[in-house]
Chain A
Amino acid sequence: MTMTATIGHAHADPHHIGIVVEHPGPASKRIVTAYGFWVFLLSDIVMFSCFFAAYAVLVGQTADGPKGSEIFEHRNVAIETVLLLLSSFTCGMASIAADVRNRFWFYLGMAVTCVLGLAFLTIEFREFANLVSRGYGPSRSAFLTAFFSLVGCHGLHVSAGVLWLLTMMAQVFAKGFRADILRRMMCFALFWHALDIIWVAVFSVVYLLGSAV
């Protein structure tokens, strides 16, 4: 590659595009990792959009089973929403703590996030268990199929997030704030915040709009 150093512009631009801002070269690992994860999140959101589409199509197909307005409890959903919003906030605090390498606030932020996430999951699980015990399981009607899949898919993501969160805490405990661990922490924060955005769509479309059907 000794030839590369001194090439003029004249022949290197056969389409006469003209002089443009030079690309500075490969991005840093932090940007590459976070960007890749960002692209993954977008693909994940597209996956959710299919479940939303299925819900929108099937929401009226109750097969003489219960309608949304008969089984949704807005108080529970409101509590779930507040829990997730607060957890997003504490997750943000944990990422700031990680950036300034403050272990105490990091552990505290992550632990609170974890507790809030688990509380959310508990409420959701109790809602599901309650519905199933009343005979309104996902096999009851296409509407309930779509409801359980969409909300359950979000719940599975939150569960995976909690698992990841615990792994992150263990990693920081064992290895400290190393560059690669900070990159993972950044991806985790993106993941957790994105789940929150999906939850906004869930409570608006599934619970609030779904009650109106």
Chain B
Amino acid sequence: MLGKLDWSAIPFDQPIPLVAGAMVLVAILGVLAWVVVKGHLPYLWHEWITSVDHKRIGVMYVLLASVMFLRGGSDAIMMRIQQSVAYQSQGYLPPEHYNQIFSAHGTIMIFFVAMPFVIGLMNLVVPLQLGVRDVAFPTLNSVGFWLTATGALLVNISLVVGEFARTGWLAFPPLSGLTYSPGVGVDYYAWSLQISGVGTLVAGINLVTTVLKLRTKGMNYLRMPMFCWTTLASNLLIVAAFPILTATLAMLLLDRYLGFHFFTNEAGGNVMMFMNLIWAWGHPEVYILVLPAFGIFSEVVSTFSGKPLFGYRSMVLATMAICVISFMVWLHHFFTMGAGPDVNAIFGIASMIIAVPTGVKIYNWLFTMYGGRIRFTTPMLWSVGFMVTFITGGLTGVLVAVPPADFLLHNSLFLVAHFHHVIIGGVLFGAFAGFTYWFPKAFGFRLEEAWGKAAFWFTFIGFYVTFLPLYTAGLLGMTRRLQHYDVAAWRPWMHVAAIGMGLLCVAVVCQITQLVVSIRNREALRDRTGDPWDGRSLEWATSSPPPVFNFAFHPDVRGEDAYWAMKQHAKEQQLEHHPEPEYEDIEMPRNSPTGFVCAFFASVMGFALIWHIWWMVILGVLGAFATFVVFAWRDHDEYVIPAAEVARIDRVNVEERRSLVSMAGGV
């Protein structure tokens, strides 16, 4: 009846996951109870859960990423403590638990923190920057988000029901095959990634179509803000790379469920094909994450230097070059697996070449700052911190791109230090920069600068204290994923890294405090004009938070830095009052529970597949299909906002903005 599921799946004998899971469960139930008792449920349902508004969905993505960041961060803390105490002892984590933790840490940080964070920011900002009212497929957008949330849910369920994979974040066979991983851990891993992968693919298709087909009048390709370009490149990579992940995991699942022989050692299967295919996805994935961060830095650096982005066209070229070259370097993840010298040499050279467009970008940011009137706000600090960190991290990357060097460093802590160096320094710093930069746009008030700067400095210093020791330990021969070790020389470095972890924890506390303090002081921090940073692109041309329709009129763009030009023009015109334009009715897509209901059935299906509960699988599939048919059957998918309402909302914003321009123009 319940497949492989019985009471032995609950880890009563392992206090750590059980207590952690129980605490999370209590927290969730507490929040739910509070929501129900306070009567917020209808509000949540109508305004958020069923919302197809790209801004709301973007916010929910970032919220999901933040919650999962705490989960993945807890895993990191546990690992660092384990490695600092496990010298000639077993530490406090038994091997099977430790292995689950490092697998979950990697999986969560990439798929359920970094991905939703950047997708959330793209969702929130790109339609605003393009001057349009929504993304190309609003309801699918909601489906994509909720499927991602389903994946995250399944990963968290594995904490208390069953186990997670013990195979590392990419689940290499034969270890992840049925012979060596007979439990449900790998199934949790694979199904949560399959389901959230569909969500990511949907988001990718949506954003590619939005950028290519929905731009306001006059928004030519070479007038798009840099963030839109990097969004385009990143989502093209999603569309091209995620199917590879889907196919590869499908093959692994076929091996596990139906006895196929893709990656087995028997009957002619080939385990190395898994490495090959998974990295053909895995390397573009790195750029899927970092390209949007590059876009964020471009926006931030240009805004806070008060200058247009230096070398805009070279930046576009560099972005698109990275988009293509990132598909030609995947073998550098397995130089040591036995390819001949010509294969290794070509992929090694390609890996070094891809550093060139990135270098172009760094110079462009530096020259944008050069001669500018720089304001060192929190987003700008993250950006400058990124440049320092990413250059050094990138250099260690060029080092491991040399195959002979890689033969020494492969699978050592040097490699671990390298990819944390570029992912934290690139993606996470970018995500935090974007978070602080666009927070006022999403919520209508700024974040407290002091706490933001404290968070930055603790992260920045904590990062170096944590990860520089790992380089050294790696050069001393320490391999990754060690549950315990006997080499005395590594021990002090593990202690330093643990101290760095402490600093990073302080940084997270600062971030949370920043949020709490800012919400309390929101009236003082209120952004009334919609343009708190003296911005340059169209998202600042509407109020904060923007009305549901974003713009009362499609803006007419005449060049780059569209909003900056509008402001300059308004100042020159000395605010001569234009006659108010005719407001028109606006049609917007209706909210729809399709995404949530679909994700519900996907969760049921995923859980049932993991535990081999076949009747429940059928139920889940039928439910999801029925949801789609019902959705396709509805007759009214849009509602009308009357012109009078549009006028009322827009007039308030125009009035606030006029007063800003008159102050700034010194009239």
Which residues on A are within 8 Å of B, measured CB to CB? 1-9, 11-15, 17, 20-27, 31-33, 35-36, 39-40, 42-44, 46-48, 50-51, 53-54, 57-58, 61-63, 65, 138-143, 145-146, 148-149, 163, 167, 171, 174-175, 180, 184
Contact = CB atoms under 8 A, between A and B. Distances in A.
Contact of A3 (B218, B554, B566): B566
A24 B220 CA distance: 9
A39 B205 contact: yes
Contacts of B176: none
A24 B251 CA distance: 45
5 contacts: A15-B560, A20-B222, A21-B220, A62-B268, A145-B260
Interface residues of B, number: 82
A142 B558 contact: no
Contacts of A20: 220, 222
Contact of A11 (B132, B556, B569, B657): B569
B549 to A, nearest CB: 11
A21 B204 CA distance: 28
A136 to B, nearest CB: 12
B242 to A, nearest CB: 7
User: Chain A interface secondary structure, helix, strand, loop or mixed?
Assistant: helix
Contacts of B208: 36, 39
Closest 4 CB pairs of A and B: A61-B268, A12-B559, A142-B268, A47-B243
Interface of B: 132, 136-137, 201, 204-206, 208-209, 212-223, 239-240, 242-244, 246-248, 250-251, 254, 258-262, 264, 266-270, 273, 277, 280, 308, 312-313, 541-542, 551-562, 565-570, 573, 578, 580-581, 625, 629, 632-633, 635, 637, 650, 654, 657
Contacts of B277: 50, 53-54
A18 to B, nearest CB: 10
B209 A35 contact: yes
Contacts of B214: 26-27, 32
B222 A142 contact: no
A81 to B, nearest CB: 24
A149 B220 contact: no
A2 B267 contact: no
B370 to A, nearest CB: 16
Central interface residue in B221, B246, B551, by most chain A CB within 10 Å: B246
Given A7-B565, A54-B251, A142-B269, 15 more contacts: A11-B565, A12-B562, A14-B559, A25-B215, A25-B216, A36-B208, A46-B240, A47-B243, A50-B247, A57-B270, A145-B254, A145-B260, A148-B260, A180-B637, A184-B632
B213 A58 contact: no
Contacts of A61: 267-270
A14 B308 contact: yes
B308 A9 contact: no
Nearest to A36: B209
A22 B277 CA distance: 42
A57 B260 contact: no
Contacts of A58: 262, 268-270, 273
B83 to A, nearest CB: 36
Contacts of B542: 1
B220 A13 contact: no
Contacts of B242: 43
A58 B313 CA distance: 45
A107 B334 CA distance: 54
Nearest to B273: A57
A145 to B, nearest CB: 4
Nearest to B556: A4
